[in-house]
Structure formats: C-alpha cells, structure tokens
Amino acid sequence: MSKEKLNILFAAAEVVPFAKTGGLADVAGALPKALKKLGHNIIVVMPRYYSIDTTKLEKLPAPLGVPMGVMGEFWAAVYMSKLPGSDVKIYFIDYEHYFGRRGLYEHEEGSYEDNDNRFVFFSKATLQLCNMLHFTPDIIHANDWHTATIPLLSKTRFVHDFAHAASVLTIHNLQHQGVFYKGVMDVLEVGWEHFNPYELESMDSVNFLKGGIAYADAVTTVSKKYAQEIQTPQFGFGLDHHIRAHSSKLFGILNGVDYTEWNPATDSFIAKDYTFNNISGKLTCKQDLQKQFHLPQREDVALIGFVGRFVEQKGIGLIAGVIHKLLDQDIQIVMLGTGEKWAERFFGEVAYHRENFALHIGYSNALAHKIEAGCDMFLMPSLFEPCGLNQIYSLAYATLPIVRATGGLDDTIVNFDKYHHKGNGFKFYDATQKALYHTVLWAVDIYYNDKKSFRKMQKVAMKAHFSWEDSAKAYIDVYKFALSKKQG
C-alpha cells in the first residue's frame, strides 16, 4: 500500500511560535515535530506575516510564481527556518500585498474583504513550492478553511504534479468555513462544474471548507466527540448534512499537549515548581497569583481561573450572567483574555467593583501559566469546543476543570463521582447559566467540605497524559487510510 516513510506536506495559516490566534497554531507547531520523530519526512508551509522577522529566516534565492486565474501570475519570495527544537523545515510564503498587514485574518472593522484571494494564493503557492523544492508529497495535510482548497486543487488544477498524493483535511473549528463571492471560482481555476451543492456551492456562494470536505481523501477533527457533534444540526453550522454524506472518511483525533512547556515541575513562569509526589509548591503559586492580581492574600479561599477568548463560543455570556452571584460566595475569580468589546467592558466594571475578582485584558503566556498553577479550579463553560487545551493544561497543574460536556472537554474530563471514586473535574451538560452556577457551587463545596476527595482528584488529574506522540500515531493511521482510498 504505502511506504513506511512518508513525505508529508503540512499547510497551515498559523504556526506556533511564529503566529497564533487559536488552537490551529498549537497543532501546527507540535504535530509536525511528533510526525518527524516517528521517522517521517515533513515540511510545513505558512504565510510570512509582517509580525515575523525575516532577519531570523533564510531567504530562498529564486522567487515563486503563483497562477491566480483571471488575476494573472503573482510572484512571491520564500523564506525558511525550522520549528524550534526540531529539524522540521518550515517555509514562509512572502507576498506583501496579501500578508503585509497587522492582523492575520481581520482588522478592527471585521474580516479582510480579500481573504478569498489571499488564501487561494497561499494554497496555490504551497503546491507550487513543492515543485520548486522538488518535494513529492505522499500526503498533503490541509488545515481549516484557509487551506481547504488544496485537496481540490491537487486533484484538478495541479493534478499532473500531485496525482499520487493523498489529501487530509483537519477541521479545527467548523464555525469558520471560508464563504465567499462565487467570482473566486475564476481565481481558483478549477472549472465552474465544481460550483455545485455537492462540492463548493453554498447558497450561491463558494464555501472553501465544504469543498475541502468533499475532495479530501480523509477528514479529521480534533476530538472524537466533536467528530460526532459536527454531524448534527446543533453543531454542524449548516454543513451537518454534507459531513454526514462523507462520514465514512471522518475521524476524531484528540490534540496532544507539549509537556515540555506545560509542566509544573519545570515551568519557569511559576513561582515554585511542584510535582505529582509533592504539590506543596502549588500554594506558593496561589499566593503569587493573588499578589500579581492584587487579590486578598488568602490561602484557604477557593480560587478559580479563566483563560480564553471573550466570545460566545467560550461561554462568556454564561459567565457574565452569573458572575455577581458567584462573587457573592466565598471565592476568588481571575480572568485573562480578550475578545468582544461588550465583554471586556462588562468584566472591567466587575473588576472595579468587586475585590474578589481580577481581570487582565489581553494575552500573556506568562500569566496563563501562573493562572494554571495558582488556581484551584479552572472554568471552561464552552457552548462548543472542538478540542480545548486549557483543560488539559489544568489537569497537569492539579487545577480541576469545571467544563461543559461538549467536544474535547467531554472526551478529556471525567465527572467527579464520590461513590465510585472517579473523576478529574466537574461537568455540566445544559448550556445555561443555572447549570454553570450550580456546578461551580458544587465544585467549591467539594473544595471546602470534602478536602480528601478534592486532593485525590488532583492526583488523578496529574496522572492524565495526552501526548503528541499518541496523536501523531493516530494521524499516521489516517494517512494510510487516505493513501489506500486514493490507490483503491
């Protein structure tokens, strides 16, 4: 079927540590390294945004020609580096007109109006780069809508160069699909016959992700539960019927965690290291966090953290609806994040009036680590969550997650069950303020009144392990499935 050592082309719009807006970047920065360790040959390709310093990159001598249909041929520069701590080469497509902007996908008024052309350009450039490098991929791994046209392009416009390559598309968040004016068909150059309800067409527009799902040899999502959820109207964002039609090639693979970065025994951001055998240092971290956020210095108070985007998906509306009732209890809450302006203003007002609530608007990796280490519990009331990583970080830091049972949160968190001695966190099922409020009270009650169970849960949490090596092995199985489907 397929050779043991695969050539893999991995295309993503964002990659840690070069550019990040969400979980896609974490996956793109970690999975290729894990695949390389398993013995496979992999290159990563991403845009060269202007936040990326070219003085630290190597420039390839020749420019890259990219055909853009009715728009003509564009020429890009290409830079190269390596993913930190690895030999994985990463290539950057440099084209100022499309990527010389402050934001990755949007400005303050909303999404860039030419995002369709920007990412058709990037997808075509990625395939053209393979020809320039004389790199013949067995697997082309696309990610989210930004590169979802690659499976289609590799089977149509570029079929002569990639006839033997199998394609895999990973959906990190189905909510974002890349829906654009149908005129982009003349830039794609795949033929208008592909503008139909079974491929690219969606309500007289072009849907990049829909086309990717149709043309990829295999489709993955970032948790088993999310793979099930996106086939339902509630979580399918209008594509559930389309996804069900392609369910025979759909797989759920849970994201891994980089434990070299998220490990309380070696974390340079936290006040005191601690381990499974001795978590006493966690109290020092709690005191440091309270000091950092100007909270009353109390060892005995239940301290709850939140790190994430202030958007509806993350359940920010649920939190806003119960925050004052929660703060009337004997607890402290600290929040770190940025997002919708109403939420930033609302929680800013709460922080001004409540001494047991602290807020940092923006993102700080150092503060994120301090919150994971210093809190007793971590809040993730997401309306939907393809995978989620913060709940897994929390487990490693003995910080018990309080989550809504959806997607990867449901896959990774086992609900507390005192009578059967199980659990590494607290789950609720209904996306309501009432369910969130009472679950937090339940967790806080265990913290204060059943310390033995709470400590045991912390130990269970720290034993959990979600490695990228395991995830990478699962992806290899999917790659082999895609190749067998292609060759069959």
In angstroms, the first-to-last Cα distance of the chain is 9
d(CA 240, CA 174): 10
Q: Angle CA(117)–CA(144)–CA(111) in degrees, nearest 5?
A: 50
Task: Please check the confidence at residue 1 and state whether its pLDDT lies above 50.
Answer: no
- Sketch out the chain's domains with CATH numbers: 7-256+468-487 (3.40.50.2000), 281-463 (3.40.50.2000)
Give the pair of three-digit tokens for residue 479.
């790659």
Task: Please check the confidence at residue 62 and state whether its pLDDT lies above 80.
Answer: yes
pLDDT level of residue 3 (50, 70, 90 thresholds):
low
The strand ranges marked E within 144-239 are: 166-171, 179-181, 201-202, 205-207, 218-221
Give the pair of three-digit tokens for residue 40.
């496979």
Task: Please check the confidence at residue 2 and state whether its pLDDT lies above 70.
Answer: no
Q: Are 434 and 404 in contact (CB under 8 A)?
A: no
DSSP letters for 324-335: HHHHTSSEEEEE
The strand ranges marked E within 83-182 are: 89-94, 106-107, 110-111, 139-143, 166-171, 179-181
Q: What is the pLDDT of residue 347?
A: 98
Average pLDDT over residues 427-436: 98
pLDDT level of residue 428 (50, 70, 90 thresholds):
very high
Q: What is the mean pLDDT of the chain?
A: 96
The strand ranges marked E within 173-242 are: 179-181, 201-202, 205-207, 218-221
Q: Count of residues for the chain?
A: 488
Tens of pLDDT, residues 284-336: 999 999 999 999 999 999 999 999 999 999 999 999 999 999 999 999 999 99
Tens of pLDDT, residues 66-79: 999 999 999 999 99
Q: Which has the closest alpha carbon to 185: 161, 205, 210, 165? A: 205
- Phi, psi dihedral angles at 58 (to 5 degrees): -100, 125
d(CA 425, CA 447): 12
Q: Which has the closest alpha carbon to 393: 415, 418, 365, 355? A: 365
pLDDT level of residue 21 (50, 70, 90 thresholds):
confident
Q: Which residue has the higher pLDDT, 4 or 98?
A: 98
pTM, entire model: 0.92
Of all residues in the chain, the percent with pLDDT exceeding 70 is 99
- Tally the C-alpha atoms within 13 A of residue 326's C-alpha that lie toward its C-beta: 30
Tens of pLDDT, residues 327-376: 999 999 999 999 999 999 999 999 999 999 999 999 888 999 999 999 99
DSSP letters for 97-118: HHH-SSSSSEETTEE-TTHHHH
d(CA 355, CA 358): 8
Q: Which has the closest alpha carbon to 356: 397, 295, 308? A: 295
User: Which SS3 state, helix, strand or coil, does residue 423 take?
Assistant: coil
Q: How far is CA 218 from CA 139, 140, 185, 250, in A?
A: 11, 11, 24, 6
Q: Residue 356, Cβ neighbours under 10 Å: how many? A: 18
- What single DSSP character describes residue 196? S
d(CA 444, CA 331): 8
Q: What is the pLDDT of residue 4?
A: 85
CA-derived radius of gyration, the chain: 23
